[in-house]
């Protein structure tokens, strides 16, 4: 995901958070909740600094990012969620950690390796950051496997979903597994004995592997004592046993169990004394010298292969692995003890997500729903006519993403449409959006697509997407070198009589129908001429060259959006100092940009009430007397990934300024990316405020940030009903 999903510090101490849960819980769940150790926290500041740039006032970005991942893990303990969804949260934690190590940890190590240590506003040295990451991860990875082994597996067993151990296999099942091994595994597996002519293999990032202790000599008289078995990536990590071989329920076995069972058959005539799982995580970030690049697409293709074999940053091993073998692997990967994680279970938990496809148990999943449509868009075959009458604001996934796709499909077929321009960041090669763009080009429309090739972990897909669009006749450009194009814009130019009318879509999320069912995002559709003119100018900046053009209704990064935010904060300060009302509500995925944080501190000092709904990283410390006591920060973690970016300013209680945007309040978004902010008025602005209030009232899925850097789960007060913003929006907007 983009955002994927994806965050001077004194000594840190572990704390336990006493969280009361009103639901009846299993003993194992209750014990884990009682001993909840979310994160080591930053010690309270003994003496508040006067300087708002003082490092004590800022939380470290990487540790804040890690805190978000731990909040995701904690969802696995929420027994109000369906069981298989709780398992998914447990596995998403692994997926998030993979990316955290591949990108964030890798960057800290890179700085140390090349002597280019860079500190943020918190002034925390990279080595100190790495030490705290290791400490936090050790605590929470152990916690993750406790949840898996002590809660998830027994709960799944009680629901007749069985993960069969080798010791549980019947003779019939063992016979079936042997056939599977010989027919599906043996033809593709390549065990590697280690000797001078077979050095340690170059293992792919995040692949499942086994280190094997051998006794005896092979056919050539070699006695190596050790081998590596890379598990073929083409094979599933979970296999479903045939129902006719079982006594009912869903019966699954791990690929690793099969390899363990038959490892000796991969080394004929030799004895396997031990076989142990391990997994290596590598640096997967891509770096470019933009001054040397002549063709970005070609350079990117060259870098993608190297991503699989970057420097090692983490080693996961089965906790039963002998220390001598762990030391051997450490030496091979040049990793210290702090980067080794001994786990009590499968080392590749992310691949367990396959259980969703192998187990059809709807009662253990979220209750299905149908995204709704505003009345004016229902059964409307002419979306252009609807938009000429009224702007449309949609909130996904509660409201359907279909109108956005239909607008483009209609444009592709409409003889009066002469041009379409669109940005694509993450969308997929075969998506409905891309199909419509291809059809439009083949129908003779002028189709221009700005593709951001460097959308992290979607680079290969975006290269394929660019090729498909070019083959269809679309003009494809890659934005501006050095500035990622993160804006979400669609522009349709239609001839209506003697005029050219522009229809626009602006959004807070990606043009991806799949994530539109999982992420909360706003879509704004309009035929406003000034908005259309502004979008046209931004596309000109992306595809051509020239000076900054003045916009009428939009704000754009890296030019005006950041400055506008500072201006609006200062306006709230002036209003309060003049005895008027001052209130700011910001809902974004991350808050890390120092100037914006300082401006919020100044606003708090002036008496402005500030509510921040920050899903992930937050460098700001709320609740500091004389500095941020008027700031409240909460993070909502629930069924849907909170992804909307909305900025609300009271503006003296008259007409609040409400801006939807593609940009988080982070340095990269405000200063180093192409982003858009679009102002909303009237009923749309009123609606935004109502929906923001739901998030501020949430006492079911909200986590509150404290000044020491810790988070606590917000609980209903005595006599107060449980209130979930996401559930409220489902009830109001969905079917």
Range 195-224 average pLDDT: 80
Q: What is the CA radius of gyration of the chain?
A: 27
Structure tokens at 548: 């900054």
- CA dihedral of residues 49, 53, 58, 61 (deg, nearest 10): -160
Question: Is 14's pLDDT higher than 70?
Answer: no
Contact present, 504 and 489 (Cβ < 8 Å) = yes
**Residues 519-531: b if buried by 16+ CB within 10 A, e if exposed:** bbbbbbbbbbeeb
Architecture of domain 557-733 in this structure: 2-Layer Sandwich (3.30)
Phi-psi region of 383 (alpha: psi -120 to 50; beta: other; left: phi over 0): alpha
The whole-number pLDDT of residue 46 equals 65
pTM higher than 0.85 for the full model?
Answer: yes
**Rounded to whole angstroms, how far apart are CA atoms 208 and 185?**
14
**Residue 281, strand partner residues:** 314
Q: What is the pLDDT of residues 136-191, one digit of tens each?
A: 999 999 999 999 999 999 999 999 999 999 999 999 999 999 999 999 999 999 99
Q: How far is the CA of 51 from the CAs of 565, 571, 573, 594, in angstroms?
A: 22, 22, 18, 13
The whole-number pLDDT of residue 378 equals 82
Q: Which residue has the higher pLDDT, 218 or 709?
A: 709
**Residues 295-326: b if buried by 16+ CB within 10 A, e if exposed:** eebebbeeeeeebeebebbbbbbbeebeeebb
The whole-number pLDDT of residue 22 equals 34
**Residues 633-659: b if buried by 16+ CB within 10 A, e if exposed:** bbbbbbbbbbbbbbbbbbbbeeebbbb
Name, in order, each residue with C-beta under 8 angstroms of 661's C-beta and a sequence gap of 6 or more: 508, 555, 561, 645, 646, 647, 675, 676, 677, 678
**Rounded to whole angstroms, how far apart are CA atoms 506 and 676?**
8
The whole-number pLDDT of residue 451 equals 87
Structure tokens at 581: 């009302």
Q: What is the pLDDT of residues 400-429, one digit of tens each?
A: 999 999 999 999 999 999 999 999 988 876
Structural domain boundaries of the chain? 12-158, 164-293+310-358, 375-548, 557-733
The whole-number pLDDT of residue 215 equals 86
Backbone angles phi, psi at 240, to 5 degrees: -90, 125
| Domains 375-548 and 557-733 equal at CATH topology level | yes
Residue 26: pLDDT band with limits 50, 70, 90:
confident
* 96 annotated as ligand-binding: yes
The whole-number pLDDT of residue 195 equals 75
Tell me whether residue 198 is one of the annotated catalytic residues. Answer: no
Q: What are the start-end ranges of the E strands in 207-264?
A: 208-215, 226-230, 238-240, 250-254
The closest of 476, 506, 491, 508 to 422, measured between CA atoms, is 491
Q: How far is the CA of 247 from the CAs of 156, 161, 243, 364, 669, in angstroms?
A: 16, 11, 8, 21, 55
Structure tokens at 377: 């868009």
Q: What is the pLDDT of residues 364-378, one digit of tens each?
A: 999 999 999 988 888
Question: Is 224's pLDDT higher than 80?
Answer: no
CATH top-level class of 12-158: mainly alpha
Q: What is the pLDDT of residues 77-134, one digit of tens each?
A: 999 999 999 999 999 999 999 999 999 999 999 899 888 888 899 999 999 999 999 9
Contact present, 714 and 698 (Cβ < 8 Å) = yes
One of 486, 505, 512, 583 is an active-site residue; which one? 486
Question: Is 678's pLDDT higher than 70?
Answer: yes
Query: Counting Cβ atoms within 10 Å, is residue 369 exposed (0-12), middle (13-18) or buried (19+)?
Result: middle
The closest of 611, 594, 603 to 570, measured between CA atoms, is 603
Of 28-42, 609-623, 695-709, least confident by mean pLDDT is 28-42
Pairing assessment for the beta strands 554-557 and 673-680 based on DSSP bridges: antiparallel
Range 572-580 average pLDDT: 95
| CA 132 to mean position of chain CA atoms | 22
* 615 annotated as ligand-binding: yes
Architecture of domain 164-293+310-358 in this structure: 2-Layer Sandwich (3.30)
Range 581-607 average pLDDT: 97
Name, in order, each residue with C-beta under 8 angstroms of 607's C-beta and a sequence gap of 6 or more: 576, 582, 630
Instruction: DSSP for 686-729, please give it.
Output: HHHHHHHHHHHH--SSEEEE-TTS-EEE--PPTTPPP--HHHHH
| Share of the chain residues as helix, strand and coil, in percent rounded to the nearest 5 | 40, 20, 40
CATH annotation of 375-548: 3.30.870.10
**Rounded to whole angstroms, how far apart are CA atoms 70 and 685?**
34
The whole-number pLDDT of residue 221 equals 62
Q: What is the pLDDT of residues 693-721, one digit of tens each?
A: 999 999 999 999 999 999 999 999 999 99
* 456 annotated as ligand-binding: yes
Q: What is the pLDDT of residues 342-394, one digit of tens each?
A: 999 999 899 999 998 899 999 999 999 999 998 888 877 789 999 999 999 99
Question: Is 618's pLDDT higher than 70?
Answer: yes
């Amino acid at each position: 995901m983009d955002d994927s999903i994806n965050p001077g510090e004194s000594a840190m101490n572990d704390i336990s958070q006493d969280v009361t849960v009103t639901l009846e819980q299993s003993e194992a769940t209750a014990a884990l909740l009682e001993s909840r150790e979310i994160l080591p926290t930053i010690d309270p500041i003994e003496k508040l600094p006067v300087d708002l740039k003082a490092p004590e006032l800022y939380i470290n970005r990487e540790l804040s990012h890690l805190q978000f991942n731990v909040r995701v893990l904690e969802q696995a303990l929420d027994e109000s969620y369906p069981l298989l969804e709780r398992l998914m949260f447990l596995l998403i934690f692994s997926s998030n950690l993979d990316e955290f190590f591949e990108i964030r940890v890798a960057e800290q190590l890179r700085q140390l390796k090349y002597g280019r240590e860079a500190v943020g506003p918190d002034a925390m040295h990279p080595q100190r950051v790495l030490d705290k990451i290791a400490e936090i991860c050790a605590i929470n990875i152990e916690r993750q496997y406790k949840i898996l082994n002590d809660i998830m597996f027994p709960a799944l067993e009680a629901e007749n979903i069985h993960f069969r151990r080798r010791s549980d296999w019947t003779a019939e099942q063992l016979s079936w597994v042997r056939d599977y091994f010989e027919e599906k595994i043996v033809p593709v597996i390549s065990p590697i004995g280690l000797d001078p002519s077979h050095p340690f293999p170059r293992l792919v990032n995040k692949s499942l592997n086994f280190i094997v202790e051998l006794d005896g000599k092979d056919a050539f008289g070699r006695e190596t004592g050790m081998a590596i078995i890379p598990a073929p990536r083409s094979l599933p990590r979970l296999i479903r046993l045939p129902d006719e071989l079982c006594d009912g329920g869903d019966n699954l076995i791990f690929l690793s169990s099969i390899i363990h069972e038959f490892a000796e058959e991969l080394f004929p005539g030799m004895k396997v004394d031990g076989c142990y799982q391990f997994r290596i995580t590598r640096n997967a970030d891509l770096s470019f010298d933009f001054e040397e690049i002549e063709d970005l697409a070609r350079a990117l293709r060259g870098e993608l292969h190297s991503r699989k074999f970057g420097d090692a940053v983490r080693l996961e091993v089965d906790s039963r692995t002998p220390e001598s073998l762990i030391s051997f692997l450490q030496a091979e990967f040049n990793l210290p003890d702090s980067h080794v994680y001994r786990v009590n279970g499968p080392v590749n938990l992310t691949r367990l997500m396959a259980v969703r496809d192998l187990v059809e148990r709807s009662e253990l999943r979220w209750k299905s729903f149908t995204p709704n449509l505003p009345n004016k868009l229902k059964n409307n075959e002419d979306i252009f006519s609807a938009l000429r009458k009224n702007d449309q604001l949609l909130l996904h996934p509660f409201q359907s993403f279909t109108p956005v796709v239909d607008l483009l499909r209609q444009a592709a077929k409409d003889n009066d449409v002469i041009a379409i321009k669109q940005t694509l960041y993450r969308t997929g090669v075969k998506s409905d959006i891309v199909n419509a763009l291809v059809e439009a080009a083949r129908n003779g429309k002028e189709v221009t697509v700005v593709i951001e090739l460097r959308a992290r972990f979607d680079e290969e897909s975006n290269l394929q997407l660019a090729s498909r669009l070019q083959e269809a006749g679309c003009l494809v450009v890659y934005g501006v070198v050095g500035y990622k194009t993160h804006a979400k814009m669609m522009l349709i130019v239609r001839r209506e009589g003697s005029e050219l009318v522009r229809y626009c879509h602006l959004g807070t999320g990606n043009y991806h129908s799949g994530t539109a069912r999982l992420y909360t995002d706003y879509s704004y559709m309009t035929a406003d001429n000034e908005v259309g003119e502004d979008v046209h100018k931004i596309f000109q900046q992306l595809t051509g060259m020239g000076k900054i053009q003045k916009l009428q209704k939009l704000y754009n990064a890296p030019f005006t959006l950041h400055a506008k935010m500072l201006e609006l904060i200062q306006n709230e300060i002036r209003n309060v100092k003049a005895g008027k009302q001052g209130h700011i509500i910001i809902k974004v995925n991350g808050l890390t940009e120092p100037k914006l944080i300082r401006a919020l501190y100044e606003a708090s000092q002036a008496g402005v009430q500030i509510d921040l709904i920050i899903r992930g990283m937050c460098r700001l410390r709320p609740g500091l007397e004389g500095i941020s006591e008027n700031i409240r920060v909460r993070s909502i973690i629930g069924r849907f990934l909170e992804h909307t970016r909305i900025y609300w300013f009271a503006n003296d209680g008259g007409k609040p300024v409400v801006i939807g945007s593609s940009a988080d309040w982070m340095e990269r978004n405000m200063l180093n990316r192409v982003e858009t902010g679009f102002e909303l008025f009237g009923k749309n602005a009123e609606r935004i405020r109502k929906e923001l209030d739901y998030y501020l009232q949430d006492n079911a899925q909200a986590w509150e940030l404290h000044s020491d850097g810790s988070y606590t789960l917000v609980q209903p007060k005595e006599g107060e009903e449980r209130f979930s913003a996401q559930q409220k929006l489902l009830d109001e907007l969905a079917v």
